[in-house]
């Protein structure tokens, strides 16, 4: 337990010990003096001296601690956080050590180390950029190759989770629910028909016809399934049966890391980098969870510590009531914007499907989650997913005394939010996702690697904001 105490608490306890020790010494002195006096002597003066000394000594210790805390403990904590930022999150801005002026040479030494590390990082970044350019070229060639095939393509790993899909396959999936990587294919298509087609496969590289029916019985597509041996299966959907343009661009969404590794059976033991996250935000008619309604939803998926480009939700929601002008001044959404938009029942179910098997991430999560949970009966779903709040993440990484607003976090982590995107659901969701991606390596650097460890830390900051996990 002692090893988990913060630096500031340790210093505070040190000064408390000094005050208590001084009081004990005085009490011993008084006791010794009293033992030398005659029996029946008046105790009043001795007691008064002890009380006065204890009060003055405690006040002195408190005053010295406040000075020490402000000029030593807090700067050390801030310096530690700034160094972690540069070590784990790729922040290359110069280190401002003005707050460390009373730490002797520690500030300048840390700045020198930061500059040296930044130089090394820049050299490594050039090599990474070169390799990234090469991989991007390979991706473009793969995209061009698939563009010549008049079928939509979905790649499954051995667990029958989606590892890759092209834009035409995304259109097919979107007819059922928002497309997402790592989703079980059974979330979209009838499992029985898929199992029957797989039974017809004769071995590696064999193919079988496949009729893809969604679970609701409203869509059916013709296609084929190909056995990739131990590497999973490839599904090809005929574009004619899906009413798709075979000449449309075919950008890919994929993550081949999904072929590797297995999740821990207990969520609390799962590594933070192995979890799937959905960072989301809402814009509303006001600030009351009880009385106001959602008018816009934005959501972004994060896999393996990376934002999945192409997997997002950005939709207006019809609140079925007028939007107050006071709210429109903040998010610039008026009644005309939400006219004809889906109502919360449809929009909420779509978001819920997008968040399956994911950890929800929000900034000031109790507000957004509270709105969703209030409408869950209308949506016919339950919002019981695990939740991470970036306010609490900031407190864990940077300490409770720092500013934890979304703007402050983005500034601290060198994340740029376009002015026109701020206070839009999608813009704030994108910023929240980028904050999460930057904070994950910082958490690992502090020894917080599993979901259980993280929740234990965030719950210790419940005086800032309630943690929503049981």
Helix axes 7-35, 44-68, angle to 10 degrees: 160
CB hemisphere CA count around 253 (13 angstroms): 26
Q: How sure is the predictor about 39, in pLDDT bands with cuts at 50, 70 and 90?
A: low
> What mean pLDDT comes out for the span 301-322?
94
Q: Quote the pLDDT of residue 372.
A: 97
Q: How sure is the predictor about 120, in pLDDT bands with cuts at 50, 70 and 90?
A: low
Q: Are 192 and 211 in contact (CB under 8 A)?
A: no
Q: How sure is the predictor about 150, in pLDDT bands with cuts at 50, 70 and 90?
A: low
What residue spans define the domains of the chain? 2-115, 149-258, 265-459
Residue 242 has pLDDT above 80, yes or no: no
Cα 148 from chain centre: 38
Residue 262 has pLDDT above 70, yes or no: no
The CATH homologous superfamily of the domain defined by 149-258: PAS domain (3.30.450.20)
Q: Quote the pLDDT of residue 19.
A: 76
Q: Quote the pLDDT of residue 149.
A: 58
Q: Quote the pLDDT of residue 354.
A: 96
Residue 1 has pLDDT above 60, yes or no: no
Give per-residue pLDDT as tens, 172-230: 998 899 999 999 999 999 888 888 888 888 777 788 898 888 877 788 888 899 998 87
Handedness of CA 289, 276, 179, 177 (dihedral sign): negative
468 conformational bin, left if phi > 0, alpha if psi -120 to 50, beta if neither: alpha
More confident residue, 246 or 79: 79
Residue 351 has pLDDT above 90, yes or no: yes
Backbone angles phi, psi at 195, to 5 degrees: -60, -40
| Runs of H (alpha helix) within 36-102 | 44-68, 74-88
Write out the chain in H/E/C secondary structure: CHHHCCHHHHHHHHHHHHHHHHHHHHHHHHHHHHHCCCCCCCCHHHHHHHHHHHHHHHHHHHHHHHHHHHHHHHHHHHHHHHHHHHHHCCCCCCCCCHHHCCCCCHHHHHHHHHHHHHHHHHHHHHHHHHHHHHHHHHHHHHHHHHHCCCEEEEEECCCCEEEEEEHHHHHHHHCCCCCCCCCEHHHCECHHHHHHHHHCCCCCCCEEEEEEEECCCCCEEEEEEEECHHHCEEEEEECCCCCCCCCCCCCEEECHHHHCCCCCCCHHHCEHHHCEEEEEEEEECCCCCCCCCEEEEEEEEEECCEEEEEEEEEEECECCCCCCHHHHHHHCCCHHHHCCCCEHHHHHHHHHHHCCCCEEEECCHHHHHHHHHHCHHHHCCCCCCCEEEHHHHHHHHHCCCCCCCHHHHHHHCCCCCCCCCCCCHHHHHHHHHHHHHHHHHHHHHCCCCEHHHHHHHHHCCCCCCCCCCC
3.40.50.800, 3.30.420.10, 3.10.129.10, 3.40.50.10860: CATH of 265-459: 3.30.420.10
Q: Quote the pLDDT of residue 52.
A: 67
Q: Quote the pLDDT of residue 247.
A: 67
Q: What is the mean pLDDT of the chain?
A: 83
Lowest mean pLDDT among 102-106, 304-308, 315-319, 356-360: 102-106
Q: How sure is the predictor about 46, in pLDDT bands with cuts at 50, 70 and 90?
A: low
Residue 109 has pLDDT above 70, yes or no: no
Q: Quote the pLDDT of residue 363.
A: 96
> What mean pLDDT comes out for the span 409-416?
91
Q: Are 247 and 235 in contact (CB under 8 A)?
A: no
Q: Quote the pLDDT of residue 98.
A: 77
Give per-residue pLDDT as tens, 249-260: 667 788 888 877
**High-pLDDT (> 90) share of the chain, %:** 40
Give per-residue pLDDT as tens, 264-308: 678 899 999 999 999 999 999 999 999 999 999 999 999 999 999
Query: Is the overall model pTM greater than 0.85, yes or no?
Result: no
Strongest mean pLDDT among 76-85, 93-102, 237-246, 303-312: 303-312
Strands (E), 239-275: 252-254
The neighbouring-strand residues paired with 324 are none
Residue 33 has pLDDT above 70, yes or no: no
- Report residue 311 as tokens: 């997997």
> Closest Cα partner for 189 from 227, 222, 167, 232?
222
């Amino acid at each position: 337990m002692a090893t988990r105490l913060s630096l500031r608490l340790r210093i505070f306890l040190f000064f408390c010990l000094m005050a208590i020790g001084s009081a004990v010494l005085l009490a011993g002195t008084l006791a010794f003096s009293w033992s030398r006096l005659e029996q029946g002597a008046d105790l009043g003066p001795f007691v008064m001296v002890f009380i006065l000394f204890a009060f003055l000594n405690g006040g002195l210790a408190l005053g010295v601690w406040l000075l020490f805390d402000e000029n030593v403990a807090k700067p050390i904590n801030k310096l530690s956080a700034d160094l972690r930022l540069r070590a784990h999150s790729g922040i290359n801005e110069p280190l401002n050590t003005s707050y460390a002026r009373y730490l002797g040479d520690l500030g300048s030494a840390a700045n020198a180390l930061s500059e040296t590390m930044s130089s090394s990082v820049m050299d490594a970044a050039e090599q990474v950029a070169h390799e990234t350019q090469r991989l991007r070229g390979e991706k473009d060639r793969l995209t061009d190759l698939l563009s010549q095939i008049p079928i939509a393509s979905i790649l499954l790993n051995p667990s029958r989770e989606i590892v890759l899909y092209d834009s035409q396959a995304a259109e097919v999936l979107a007819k059922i629910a928002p497309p997402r990587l790592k989703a079980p294919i059974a979330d979209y298509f009838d499992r029985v028909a898929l199992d029957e087609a797989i039974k017809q496969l004769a071995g590696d590289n064999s193919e079988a016809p496949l009729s893809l029916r969604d679970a609701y019985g409203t869509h059916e597509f013709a296609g084929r399934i190909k056995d990739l041996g131990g590497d999973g299966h490839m599904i090809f959907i005929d574009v004619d049966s899906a009413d798709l343009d075979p000449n449309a661009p075919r950008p890919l969404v994929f993550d081949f890391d999904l072929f590797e590794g297995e999740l821990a059976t207990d969520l609390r033991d799962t590594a933070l980098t192995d979890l799937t996250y959905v960072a989301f935000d809402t814009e509303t008619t006001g600030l009351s969870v009880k009385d106001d309604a959602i008018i816009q939803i934005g959501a972004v998926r994060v896999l393996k510590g990376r934002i999945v480009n192409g997997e997002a939700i950005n939709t207006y929601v019809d609140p079925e009531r007028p939007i107050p002008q006071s709210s429109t001044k903040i998010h610039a959404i008026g009644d005309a914007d939400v006219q004809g938009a889906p109502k919360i029942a449809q929009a909420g179910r779509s978001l819920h499907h997008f968040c399956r098997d994911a950890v929800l991430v929000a900034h000031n999560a109790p507000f957004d989650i509270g709105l969703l949970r209030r409408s869950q009966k209308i949506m016919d779903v339950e919002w019981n997913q695990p939740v991470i709040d970036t306010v609490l993440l900031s407190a864990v990484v940077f300490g409770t005394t720092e500013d934890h607003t979304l703007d402050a976090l983005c500034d601290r982590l060198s994340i740029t939010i376009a002015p026109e995107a701020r206070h839009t659901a999608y813009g704030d969701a994108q910023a929240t996702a980028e904050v999460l991606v930057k904070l994950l390596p910082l958490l690992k650097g502090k020894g917080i690697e599993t979901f259980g460890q993280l929740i234990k830390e965030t719950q210790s900051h419940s005086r800032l904001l309630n943690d929503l996990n049981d």
